Amino acid sequence: MSRTFANFYIAVLVSSLAALLAVGCSGSGEATQEEDAEGPADQPNIVFVLTDDLDFTSAQQMPEIASLLVEEGTSFENAFVSHPICCPSRATILTGLYDHNHDVRSNRPPPGGFEKFLSEGHEENSIAVRLQEEGGYQTAFFGKYLNGYPADDLTHVPPGWDEWYGKLDEQKLYDYRINENGEVVSYGSETEDFFTDVLSRQATDFVGRAAPEDQPFFMYVAPTAPHGPATPAERHESAFTEQEETPRPPSFDEEDVSDKPSRVRNLERISDKEASNLDARYQKRLRSTLAVDEMVASLVQELEEAGELDNTFIFFTSDNGFEQGEHRIRGGKNQPYEESARVPFFVRGPGVPVGSKTEKLALNTDLAPTFANLAGVEFPADGRSLAPILRGEEPSV
């Protein structure tokens, strides 16, 4: 199966599921905004945490996320992305559109990447612009934006963001730069320069400054973990040493692949050495995610101390899943399989059922319209607001 066909297969499959299971979401976009939107006086804060390549199973291993988000909110057990690779998924999150509508189809130009997103005019029409201009929100971005950012302009700050802390050196967690509100700031290789910790300090600092203002805020926090090289913080280098192995679902090192495309049929079985390497990488990915876990705890604590926790929705998810030996695929994403497209998705906030799980289908196309709906503004998108589910209601068709 070619990569192009695989992407098409995913888009068609997920689009069909979305149509069939629309009962899991709200009705038409316009009606939803009128019926479900809160009035301006009731606008909540919105904190959106987007991890990088975090698979569904690994997310369950994080203690703070489990206690502060899963146990205090709702878990979406059937959350997927329409195209499981970084830039197209992030473009969908910002626009609420499928690939064939935003036309960012890969991580690099000409068909994808930051430059494609920019040339298509999406920065002027992102959810951040809508929340800032029509919702009156303070907006702030922290971390990884789009692959290939910032192209030729290191000081580029996209419209819609009151504060901007965009990472410039992609996956490096030491010796990197950040565009901090139009000024390039360099970080080194000291312990305190570890990127996820810097990101956490910047995000919690914003909460402390924004909370006293008589204005709701929207935060988009995007760590690079556990994307390779999956560098852990020094304090976590010996964590998960007792972790036995990469998850071994029935699809792991699949014995019979006769029903699979030729590319998978031609893959050899996973050797013992390869399985050991997969286990080592799995442990490393878990270690690198622990700093994100601590960041979530810091954000919750800062929100609570600022008196804003009860008026804040916290969304936690990933841009895609990750293959770890399933269907004999040693690693990566961008595959027409659940392990690539399924993502963890947890939400806590005012009115969200505590400690609950929902089987309703959720897609990354639904995020932007959900944020807009909660903020009381309209935002045309391919997705639908998840607000009724977050209120524990049975959505109308």
Q: Which domains does the chain have, with CATH numbers?
A: 45-353 (3.40.720.10)
pLDDT one-digit tens code per residue, 280-339: 999 999 999 999 999 999 999 999 999 999 999 999 999 999 999 999 999 999 998 999
Which pLDDT score is estimated for 394?
72
Which pLDDT score is estimated for 170?
85
Q: Is the pLDDT of residue 37 over 60?
A: no
Q: Per DSSP, what are the bridge partners of residue 355?
A: none
Which pLDDT score is estimated for 396?
61
pLDDT one-digit tens code per residue, 199-219: 999 999 999 999 999 999 999
Measured between alpha carbons, how far is 116 from 122 in angstroms, rounded to an integer? Answer: 9
| Residue 121 three-state SS | coil
Identified catalytic residue from 59, 86, 221, 290: 86
| Cα angle: 373, vertex 70, 312; to 5 degrees | 40
Q: Is the pLDDT of residue 340 over 80?
A: yes
| Cα angle: 159, vertex 165, 166; to 5 degrees | 75
Cis peptide before 226 (omega within 30 of 0): yes
Measured between alpha carbons, how far is 297 from 140 in angstroms, rounded to an integer? Answer: 19
C-alpha 362: how far from chain center: 13
Phi, psi of 100 (to 5 degrees): -70, -10
Please give the span between the terminal C-alpha atoms of the chain, in angstroms, as a whole number: 35
pLDDT one-digit tens code per residue, 113-160: 999 999 999 999 999 999 999 999 999 999 999 999 999 999 999 999
Active site (annotated) includes residue 25: no
Instruction: Provide the mean pLDDT of the chain.
Output: 90
Nearest to 225 by CA among 51, 4, 30: 51
Q: Minimum mean pLDDT among 21-25, 171-175, 252-256: which range? A: 21-25
